[in-house]
Amino acid sequence: MYGRTALVGTIGSFDKNTYRVIIDSHVLPFMEQKHGGTESFVLQENNCGLHRATTIATYLRNKDVARINGLHRVLTLILSRIFGEL
């Protein structure tokens, strides 16, 4: 399954705290409504500093959110889900 949330605008600086608020208010509810939870969903992020922040990584890990960075990792994940572990 796939999907994307609505575009979320922010005012002021965009830091890890703002990103976490967006995760809480938009991403996690989207995962629940569209995918029935985090088990069948992989959050694709780019290599932005906010995405790599330790506090964000820990928070998402505690919420059981699988994350992937970069196109080659996305392709590897898709292929491994189709053909088994590579």
Residue 10 lies in a domain: no
Contact between 16 and 53 under an 8 Å Cβ cutoff? The reply is yes
Q: What's the total number of domains in the chain?
A: 1
Burial of residue 43 (CB within 10 Å: 0-12, 13-18, 19+) is middle
List the domain range (segments joined by +) for residue 33.
16-83
Residue 30 lies in a domain: yes
List C-alpha distances in Å: 59 to 23, 35, 44, 47, 52.
10, 20, 16, 17, 12
Give the pair of three-digit tokens for residue 39: 């088990």
Task: Quote the pTM value.
Answer: 0.66
Report the C-alpha gap between 27 and 4 in whole angstroms.
9
pLDDT in tens, 1-56: 456 777 888 888 888 888 899 889 988 898 888 877 777 777 777 767 777 788 88
